[in-house]
Amino acid sequence: MKYPLYIVLILISFSSCSSKKKLNGKGKTTHLSQKKENEFASNFIEATTQKIIGNYDLAQKLFLEGLKIKPKSAVTYFELSGIYGYKKMGRDAVESAEKSVQLNPENDWYKTNLAVLYQKYGMYEESLKLYKTLVEKHPGRYEYLFTLADNYLVLNKKEDALTVYSKIQKTMGNSEELALHKQNLYLELNQVDNAILEVENLIKEHPNKASYYGLLAELYDEKGDESKTLYYYDKVLEIDPNNADIRFALYSYYSEKGKDEKAYEELKKGFANPEASIDTKTQILLGFVNVQNKIEQEKGAELAEIMVQAHPKDSKSYTALAEIYLQKEDYEKALTSYKKSVSLESNQFLLWNQIVFIEADLKLYDSLIVDSEKAIDLFPTQPLYYFFSGLGNTQKGNVDRAIKRLNQGKDLVLDNDQMLGEFYQMLGDAYHTKKENEKSDRSYDKALELNPRNLIVLNNYSYYLSEREEELDKALKMSKFSNVISPQNANYLDTYAWILFKQKKYTEASSVLEDALTYGGENSIVILEHYGDVQFFLNNKVTALEYWEKASKKEGASDLLFQKIKEKKYIEEAN
């Protein structure tokens, strides 16, 4: 039979670590018959093949069957440890790896595998012990030395790790990686002078590398030597005048020293550098967001403007500027910046949310319609944008378009009763505008089913029923509940009184309206007019006329109100 190359390699490996003669536990030799040897080899090849092609369950089963033939096969335990590791069976992986080392203690590959597993599963002392033996046997193997140092670090044995790094350094030379590792360790051990020596040695080998001078400046700052700190920061700028990081380092340095003006000047220079990381700038700007100090707010705005000039084609700069304006409650400028950001990178869901919320708050309904439709094109499964399209179209009188979008959007709402209730609330308003009362009522009923404490629906729905003089008991119950939830609300009291008026309960209506007038109703044209209406039916016609005249002086007085005043009597509004 002809075997593939990888099977041949396995056979060579297998034959090198197995023999027909094996010692038993009493020191005697045990022999496997040639038949058993062949059976084991065939099983091992099949198991290894299954492992190579990814059939780990079958491979595991075959390896375990092989151990029944040859219970002391180190290579089989080694292979099983790999399978157990892949299957996240940590304890089995370690136990199998330990068994392979016990059976063949001279095999360094088995020891390395076990050491790696010890490290992987947090058994650092055990891993350390194995790597120490491997390093003693192979002092030139850098991978062993580096991993030995890692184990020392995990065990917080920093001095021992330093010793290992120094050993690597002597044989490998003064590499940047080693020097920086040692420098960090010296700092952790509070040996600043030794850390400085490591960086100075790097500078001797690389005299024109600006970052090393920056490190040296930080170390002298740690030591408290201000003159040398500034000297080496200047050295960085001498070598690399456009260095992207030095300005931020100087900003931190001067801030810690309480030199705020100098710190801010360095910060502005850093923000003006197009090469400096925009992510670093954005992170720094977060410190200027949500601050109450007006001076700091202005600084944040100035920095954000500088960042936009440095990164005019990066959406992050405009997003940061928008956040600053939002904090300052300059919503128009925030909106402009958010729109610029999405024009550069359109697929920013959270920014589109901000855009439509701001436009709704500012009552920019034309823009709201346009932008909510753009957002629907980008995020067709997000119900929020259908809601805002419905709002904008309702406000602009495009009621049919609003109803279409609201019905589409509500079907996209998942596990959010509050949002779904708001859809039905707006549908109720839209259908009411079209005088499709049955659909309006169904929508309001559904909104209240989802949120029985929806004050807007409770008030509006009950008022609309009273205006139509339909289901007045239901209307009164809803209105009463709204006043329980929100007492001393003049508008809700007015609705309650108006329903009583429609039920011809004029004395009760008058009492409720007097409460409404107490809680701000004197400023409401509707409440003043309603109080006059009620007084007319209580035969207090002088008082009725007085309140109608008070109402007529408010903005928005209707022709019907002036007709009441002229004729000095109540006139029913035509439906």
Q: What is the pLDDT of residues 195-208, one digit of tens each?
A: 888 788 888 888 88
Integer Cα distance of 259 and 61 in angstroms? 71
The DSSP string of 521-543 is GGG-HHHHHHHHHHHHHTT-HHH
* Torsion (CA) 449, 455, 457, 458 in degrees, nearest 10: 80
Element (H, E) at 51: helix 34-52
The pLDDT score that the predictor gives to residue 160 is 79
Integer Cα distance of 536 and 552 in angstroms? 16
Side chain identity, residue 326: L
Task: Supply 438's token pair.
Answer: 């049955």
Instruction: Reduce the DSSP state of residue 21 to 3 states and report it.
Output: strand
Integer Cα distance of 115 and 120 in angstroms? 9
Integer Cα distance of 93 and 323 in angstroms? 52
The pLDDT score that the predictor gives to residue 543 is 96
> Are the C-beta atoms of 251 and 266 separated by less than 8 Å?
yes
Element (H, E) at 22: strand 21-23
Task: Supply 413's token pair.
Answer: 């709402």
CA 493 to chain centre: 44
Mapped to the 3 state alphabet, what secondary structure does 359-383 carry?
A: HHHCCCHHHHHHHHHHHHHHCCCCH
Mean pLDDT of the chain: 88
Integer Cα distance of 516 and 57 in angstroms? 78
Query: Cα angle vertex 229, ends 225, 232, to 5°?
Result: 140
Element (H, E) at 123: none
Q: At what angle do helices 260-272 and 278-285 cross, to 10 degrees?
A: 140
Picking from 469, 466, 352, 382, the residue whose alpha carbon sits closest to that of residue 479 is 466
Integer Cα distance of 475 and 469 in angstroms? 9
Side chain identity, residue 216: L
CA dist list (Å): 346 to 358, 382, 500 = 18, 15, 53
The pLDDT score that the predictor gives to residue 353 is 97
pLDDT tens-place string over residues 76-93: 999 999 999 999 998 999
pLDDT tens-place string over residues 7-49: 333 433 444 444 444 434 334 445 667 888 888 888 899 888 8
pLDDT tens-place string over residues 450-509: 999 999 999 999 999 999 999 999 999 999 999 999 999 999 999 999 999 999 999 999
Integer Cα distance of 246 and 60 in angstroms? 57
> Are the C-beta atoms of 454 and 474 separated by less than 8 Å?
no
Integer Cα distance of 279 and 286 in angstroms? 11
Instruction: Reduce the DSSP state of residue 434 to 3 states and report it.
Output: coil
Task: Supply 307's token pair.
Answer: 């960042």
Instruction: Reduce the DSSP state of residue 31 to 3 states and report it.
Output: strand
Which positions ≥6 away from 449 have C-beta within 8 Å?
A: none
Side chain identity, residue 357: F
Integer Cα distance of 7 and 485 in angstroms? 80
Picking from 429, 420, 376, the residue whose alpha carbon sits closest to that of residue 402 is 429
Integer Cα distance of 454 and 425 in angstroms? 9
Integer Cα distance of 487 and 505 in angstroms? 21
Q: Where are the domains of the chain?
A: 1-121
Integer Cα distance of 292 and 387 in angstroms? 34
Integer Cα distance of 539 and 569 in angstroms? 10
The DSSP string of 390-416 is HHHHHHTT-HHHHHHHHHHHHTT--S-
The CATH superfamily label for domain 1-121 reads Tetratricopeptide repeat domain (1.25.40.10)
Integer Cα distance of 86 and 397 in angstroms? 64
Integer Cα distance of 214 and 237 in angstroms? 10
Local confidence pLDDT in tens for the 575 residues of the chain? 333 433 333 433 444 444 444 434 334 445 667 888 888 888 899 888 888 888 999 989 998 998 998 999 899 999 999 999 999 998 999 999 999 989 998 898 898 888 889 888 888 888 888 878 887 788 777 677 777 777 777 777 877 777 777 777 776 666 777 777 777 777 777 788 888 887 888 888 888 888 888 888 888 888 888 889 899 888 988 898 888 788 998 998 998 889 999 999 999 999 999 999 999 999 998 888 777 788 888 899 999 999 999 999 999 999 999 999 998 889 999 999 999 999 999 999 999 999 999 999 999 999 999 999 999 999 999 999 999 999 999 999 999 999 999 999 999 999 999 999 999 999 999 999 999 999 999 999 999 999 999 999 999 999 999 999 999 999 999 999 999 999 999 999 999 999 999 999 999 999 999 999 999 999 999 999 999 999 999 999 999 999 999 999 999 899 999 999 999 999 988 76
